[in-house]
Amino acid sequence: MNHKQACVYLVGAGPGDPDLLTVKAQRLLRQADVVVYDRLISPAILELIPPGTSRIYVGKAAGRHSMPQEVINELLLNLARKGHQVVRLKGGDPFVFGRGSEEARYLAHHGIHFEVVPGITSAAACSAYAGIPLSHRGLARSVRFVTGHCRADQPLELDWQGMADPQTTLVIYMGLANLAQIRQGLLDAGMAPDTPAAFVENGTTPRQRRILTTLAGLLRDQENHDVQAPALIIIGKVVDFAHELNWFVPADAAEERVHDAQQVG
C-alpha cells in the first residue's frame, strides 16, 4: 500500500464516557492499524482498541510535554507514508482546543489524506452530566468557549468585557493554572461577584466531581476541594439549575452511598 491510499483519522473521543463515542469513532478504532492517543483518553475507551493494534502515547500535560507537537505531526506523517490506517485519538473534539487543525494542516501540506471525526466536546458533555444547561430561554442567549491556557505561558489576552455579559454562559477549558487572572479579569469587567460558577472535574467518568460556587469563590473552593485537571469551569446564571437537574451519579459516589446505607442498616 502506498501512502496515497493511507489515511489519518482525527477522531474525537469525547470527555471520557465510552458510551459518548460516535458510531464512526468506534468503527475506526476497530479497523485501525495504529492508534495515536492523548493523555486525556480514558482507560475505558482504550479498552475498546482491539488486542494487537499498535498504540502510541503522545500525551501532553501543561508544562510537561512528553512529545512536542512538531514531533507528533511528523509521527502521523511517517505512519501514513508507511501505508497505515491511523487513528489520531483526541480528547473531546479535535477542532475545539484540540490542535487538530494544526495536525490536519500538516498532513494536507504533505499530501496525506485525512478525515475529521467530531467528538462531543467537554463543554457540552460535562455541563450535561453536571446538570447545567449551557443555554436557557431568558437566562443565557449565548455560550462562549474560552481556553484559559496560553502559548508559551504568555499572559491571557481575552475579551473580558464581552465575557462578562450576564446573558452569556462561559465555559473555560484548561483554566486552573490561570484561575486567579480569570476571576480578576471578569470582576474588573463588571461581572457580579455572586455569579454562579462550577468546576466539573473528570466529567462524565466514574470519578466526576461537581463543585458549585460563585465567581468570587472560585479560588477559595478550588483550594478547599483540591480541584485538579482535567476540570472544566462553567460561569453563568444557568449554573443555578445544577441542583434541580442533577441526574448523573458517578460510580464512586454511588458506591459511597451504598456503603453509607449499609452502615446505617
- Give the Cα separation of 101 and 150 in Å (integer): 17
- Give the Cα separation of 232 and 129 in Å (integer): 12
Give the helix/strand (H/E) hosting 147. Answer: strand 142-147
Place of cell 510535554: 65
* 60 counts as catalytic: yes
* 38 counts as catalytic: yes
**In this structure, what DSSP letter does residue 50 have?**
P
Active-site hit among 4, 19, 24, 60: 60
Active-site hit among 38, 90, 93, 165: 38
- Give the Cα separation of 230 and 132 in Å (integer): 18
- Give the Cα separation of 38 and 87 in Å (integer): 11
**Could you tell me which residues are beta bridge partners of residue 234?**
171, 198
**CA atoms 87, 91, 96, 97: torsion sign:** negative
Place of cell 478525515: 115
Sheet strand arrangement including 231-235: 142-147, 168-173, 231-235, 196-201, 209-214
- Give the Cα separation of 67 and 70 in Å (integer): 8
The residues assigned a catalytic role are 38, 60
